[in-house]
Structure 1
Amino acid sequence: MRLKQSVEQGNLHKENATSNVELVMENGQTYPLKGTLQFSDVTVDESTGSITLRAVFPNPQHTLLPGMFVRARIDEGVQPDAILIPQQGVSRTPRGDATVLIVNNKSQVEARPVVASQAIGDKWLISEGLKSGDQVIVSGLQKARPGEQVKATTDTPADTASK
């Protein structure tokens, strides 16, 4: 079975030419066999910013039928040193530049410019401006001002969701 899928421009990198593709069936279950990316169009549709992809899946039990609705997942790659932060921790300057407030080594609030290169779920992938171990302020932002002394605490996911 072949699958054509449009992917937003810039979301698929060349190193994915041999990416595994996973199908999620209409009932939410994952199809047990992986597909492989077979074809990637070289032209971008200017009106949508999309490219066409084709993946091939083994279908020995004839589970996949023509016209069936499925969703495809393509691994874009793994970046082991990636920094993901909650979207509510990123603000924008009037010029549109992304910034975060961090707690520096003097326990003071510091504004730091960052490059938020991609949204992944409810988080931003930060490609520049932060390093591992930086403490990003994600709650109480309206009270935090650069230069103020603060005491950092760690939010658990339940704490963050309730704020």
Structure 2
Amino acid sequence: MNTDQARAARVDHDPLTEAVIGCVFKVANALGSGFLEKVYENALAFELERAGLVHQQQVPISVHYEDRVVGTYIADLVVEGCLLLELKACRALEEIHTAQCLNYLKATRLSTCLLINFGLPKPQIKRLSRRPCFRCSSAFISVHRCSSFNLLDIGGFLEFPCPSS
């Protein structure tokens, strides 16, 4: 199995993100595009509850610098205490949205975030992961874009280089 196939298998077999993405598509199919972000957040929270997934809405997260809290932000949803969901309702996801999620992952020390845009007829989803680098043990970020429920589109998978390289 080559590296891309191994990555595809890891992404494809994450049952939590798979279940959440299923809920995202139920909401998108029922509501369509055009509502404010909060409408999709509430509908997705309802759908997560129906799926039996433990979740919290509007979770305050502290940002630390050395030993001080230097700011806070509010996470849209946290699922099962380990998956961050950042929702948007805009024309297209932009690099600033990805940067926002990467910073949220760093601040929370969670490993995975789904960046979800309900602003189009078909939802846009990016799966961002913060995992340890096997070469130097520091964190590196991978981004996977998917435009359908099938998460095997590795053509959109990016890895940032190992900091020790």
Q: TM-score by structure 1 length?
A: 0.22
Q: Which structure shows the higher helix fraction?
A: 2
